A = this chain, B = another copy of it.
Amino acid sequence: MNFDVTILGCGAATPTQRLRPTAQVVSVRDHYFLLDCGEGTQIQLRQYGIKMQRIEVIFISHLHGDHIYGLIGLLSTFSLLGRTADLTIVGPPELQEWLALTFRISDTYLSFPLHFIETNKSSEWIWENDFLKVKSIPVKHRMACNAYLFVEKPLERKIVKSFIPHYRLTLDELLVLKKDKPIHREDGKVIEPNEVCSPRQQVRKYFFCTDTLPLKLEDEDLIGIDLLYHEATFLEDHVKRAKETHHSTARQAAEVALFYQARKLILGHFSARYPDLCAFELEAGSVFPQVECAQEGTKYSIEIIESR
């Protein structure tokens, strides 16, 4: 029942030895998703031992080179390694045109079915499977850009076994209760799920938010996120530059985390001008103490809090 985020790159604009461009892997219940794909992402996947062929969906925030230039190489490698499993890409419509031309001129034929889901200018639940749903949320950058909110779907509720004989629960009744709905018996008695089930499991949420001006969106799905990755390209010393380039500072990211009542904030997308990232944690920490700077290769796990 894992829910992890592994950072593959957290640098802005141009790759350096120290900071690779944006890419991260979200793994939920052993299913793998890639978020953005800057140049060298496939090398980072190998570096950190992530089984790249298990990636099912790639979510692309926007089309700046530091978020997509690794995509063509990654898809080619999937093919060279003989992938047959379907792959879905969620992202801006122009991606398809770019991939088609790139693969035409480089004589690349994909060995697997590739599906596209185009992002739009408004928030929407854009992808889901049995246990997870993902919302694309437009943010404010120099070009169309989407943040992605990953939300677990609630598991079936667990019925405390000793209550089954006590309430003489039938099989049909158990199925209703597992779906978190009350039973209305013919004698007028109502059995609420909370009476016979163990506490409702937490629905874990991860919000990937890059590249953007700081936004406090009125979206209740964002309240109480467990983990927020927010870009912090600059410190407050360059707040003007941040605004001009439609980026955020560490302090602004912290204010966003506070607004969404996040449990933890990971900063990333650092400008290469800052040799030392400690100042990012200090600046953000004065507003929102549960903050950490993203580190390449680090896995951030969202644990289940049963009692929540």
Given the known interface contacts A14-B76, A14-B80, A72-B65, the answer about A97 and B107 at a Cβ–Cβ threshold of 8 Å is no
* A108 on the B face (CB < 8 A): yes
Interface string of A73-106 (1 = CB under 8 A from B): 1001100110000000000001101100110011
* A143 on the B face (CB < 8 A): yes
Cβ–Cβ < 8 Å partners of A80 in chain B: 13-14
Partner of A39 from the list B16, B64, B73, B102 (CB cut-off 8 Å) is B73
Query: Which residue from chain B places its CB closest to the CB of A70 in the assembled complex?
Result: B39
Partner of A73 from the list B15, B106, B143 (CB cut-off 8 Å) is B15
**A81 to B17 CA separation, bound complex (whole angstroms):** 16
**B64→A142 contact, CB < 8 A:** no
**A162 to B80 CA separation, bound complex (whole angstroms):** 66
Partner of A98 from the list B20, B43, B66, B101 (CB cut-off 8 Å) is B101
A-side residues, CB < 8 A to B, are: 13-17, 20, 39-40, 42-43, 46-47, 63-66, 68-70, 72-73, 76-77, 80-81, 94-95, 97-98, 101-102, 105-108, 142-143
